[in-house]
Amino acid sequence: SRPLLEICDLNLDFGTPRGRIHALRNVSLDVPAAQVVGIVGESGSGKSTLAYTVMGLLAENADVTAGSILFEGRDLLTMTAQGRRSLLGDRLSMIFQDPMTALNPVRTIESQMIDIQHHEQGSRSEKRARAVDMLHRVGIPDPKNRLGAYPHQFSGGMRQRVCIAMALLVKPALLVADEPTTALDATLEVQIIHLLKDLQKEIGCSILFVSHHLGAVAELCDRVAVMYAGEVVEQGAVRDIFRNPAHPYTRALLECDPGRIRKSTRTLPTIPGEVPSLLGAKVGCIFRTRCQHAFDRCVQENPVEYRIGVDQVARCHLLGQERLVSA
Ligand code: ATP
Ligand code: SF4
Ligand code: MG
């Protein structure tokens, strides 16, 4: 069956006084139904830009120059504002890094949790009961008595739980989560990841999960896309990519021991070399300034995606050669 979300050859620029920043280049990525897809990459690689573009939360200076984002077969980029509004908070919802982005500071949790169910059937008291139940499931103690509280009366970790409860109350088909655990301590992060996994399975939704944390991706995701300087350089099944990374950038990220990735490494390892400027047009491979294997062709030609395994593709000229050799 066709994927729930199909991002196809997406290109996005930001207009700035210094020129156009090419923040997304030829990004193609599918999110299958009921699967969790991780997006990893260094700061500035375009992860949030991609997540926000899916949600239609584009900055004023953003310009989609090519591509499509099909959600349940309809293009989110060409849809009317009204069509998009009817999807948001119904089929599509989002969790942000900072929970206060989604919460209104001057309204009680109760009124916000009831409002978010405006697409759902049922009376106010039924919606209140659902809110209590969901708060209970995300681990808010004594939820009945906490409903009347304001967001500032919760700790940061509790506020993120409230946001997850709200995002899942709408029973979305797709939940977009942009670094939902980055602001939390490691213990809370583990709890939230397990919670997301349980609720995802129960609701049967898909998640697009943006993270710096390879361990969290290994834990939560079925698939992963590795971004570098606005491009997806490698993507596929988490199992395959973590065991057998093909792109030199992914290899560098995963070079440290997998046990450490699962447990303590919360940030991506640092790779020597300079990240290219995103200003202006680019020829050649985007990773070549930091790649130990770069050769002539990498300067002249941007690699296409090569299929490596059943469920793994990567953009690197070396893979094309290997394929020719093994063919
Ligand atoms: P982080 O891990 O730090 O959150 P990211 O991968 O989410 O990074 P983005 O926030 O998507 O990266 O940014 C991608 C690039 O686009 C960066 O170079 C950033 O400076 C630039 N950028 C983002 N928003 C704008 C904007 N509104 N105007 C100009 N440039 C922008
Ligand atoms: Fe390195 Fe060339 Fe492959 Fe790019 S195409 S990752 S520069 S070997
Ligand atoms: Mg970001």
Give me the residue label for tokens 């926000």.
52
Q: At what angle do helices 186-203 and 156-169 cross, to 10 degrees?
A: 10
- Burial class for 235, CB neighbours closer than 10 Å (0-12, 13-18, 19+): buried
Q: What pLDDT score was predicted for residue 325? A: 42
Q: Tell whether ligand 2 has an atom less than 6 A from the beta carbon of residue 287.
A: yes
- Enter the pTM of the model: 0.93
Tell me the torsion sign for CA atoms 312, 317, 319, 323.
Answer: positive
Q: What pLDDT score was predicted for residue 326? A: 41
Q: Which residues of the chain have pLDDT under 70?
A: 256-266, 321-327
**311 plus 179 within the same structural domain:** yes
Complex-level ipTM: 0.98
The answer to whether residue 305 is domain-embedded is: yes
Minimum-distance ligand to the CA of 275? 1
For the CA of 49, the nearest atom of ligand 1: 11
Q: What pLDDT score was predicted for residue 188? A: 83
Q: Tell whether ligand 2 has an atom less than 6 A from the beta carbon of residue 24.
A: no
**273 plus 185 within the same structural domain:** yes
Q: What letter does residue 295 receive in the DSSP assignment?
A: -
Q: Tell whether ligand 1 has an atom less than 6 A from the beta carbon of residue 249.
A: no
Under 8 Å CB-to-CB from 241, ≥6 apart: which residues?
A: 224, 226, 234, 235, 250, 312
**183 plus 271 within the same structural domain:** yes
Report the distance separating Cα 108 and Cα 148, nearest Å.
Answer: 5
Considering 111, 142, 171, which residue would you say is the last residue of a domain?
Answer: 171
Report the distance separating Cα 5 and Cα 49, nearest Å.
Answer: 16
Q: Tell whether ligand 2 has an atom less than 6 A from the beta carbon of residue 237.
A: no
**261 plus 210 within the same structural domain:** yes
The answer to whether residue 96 is domain-embedded is: no
Nearest CA to ligand 1 atom 4: 43
Give me the residue label for tokens 């207009």.
15
Q: Tell whether ligand 2 has an atom less than 6 A from the beta carbon of residue 318.
A: yes
3-state secondary structure 234-253: EEEEHHHHHHCCCCHHHHHH
Nearest CA to ligand 2 atom 7: 288
Nearest CA to ligand 2 atom 5: 316
> Which CATH number do you get for residue 292?
3.40.50.300
The angle at the Cα of 315, spanning 179 to 6, to the nearest 5 degrees, equals 55
